[in-house]
Amino acid sequence: SAGSLQFIHKYHVFQQNVQRHETMNLFSSNFWNESGSAVYGINQFSDMSPEVFRATYLGSRSVQLPKYTLFSKNAKKLP
């Protein structure tokens, strides 16, 4: 509810996120004048700190994989 500690915290996080959106959008339009560049703004994750977002939604670990080469392509044809 409005005025609660949680509300104040989330509102503060939201304001910081909005500032970040502006920086990201400015960077894309000012530094690179590229066509179709991504737009950043308010969505369902905007009241979430980057740390919480990362911990909640980014749950994949990476594994080092071999580079695909022509050899990999031929290898599958071997008996």
Partner 1 sequence: LPPKFDWRDKNVVTPVRNQESCGGCWAFSVVESIESSCAIKGRQLELLSAQEVIDCSYRDAGCKGGSPINALIWLNQSKAKLVKESVYPFNAKTGLCRYFSRSALGVSITGFKAYSFRYNEDVMMEKLLEWGPLVAVVDAVSWQDYLGGIIQHHCSQGQSNHAVVITGYDATGDTPYWIVRNSWGTKWGVDGYVYIKMGKNVCGIADSVAVAFV
Residues at the site binding partner 1, with contacts judged by CB under 8 A: 17, 20-21, 24, 27-28, 32, 34-41, 43-46, 48, 50, 53-63, 65-68, 72
Choose between 10 and 28: whose C-beta lies nearer to partner 1.
28
Closest CA to 57 of 67, 70, 41, 44: 44
The residues, any chain, with a CB within 8 Å of residue 37's CB and separated by 6 or more, are: 28, 29
Minimum separation from the CB atom of position 79 to partner 1 (A): 15
Minimum separation from the CB atom of position 3 to partner 1 (A): 25
Choose between 3 and 68: whose C-beta lies nearer to partner 1.
68
CA distance 24 to 46: 14
Choose between 2 and 63: whose C-beta lies nearer to partner 1.
63
Residue with tokens 């911990």: 55
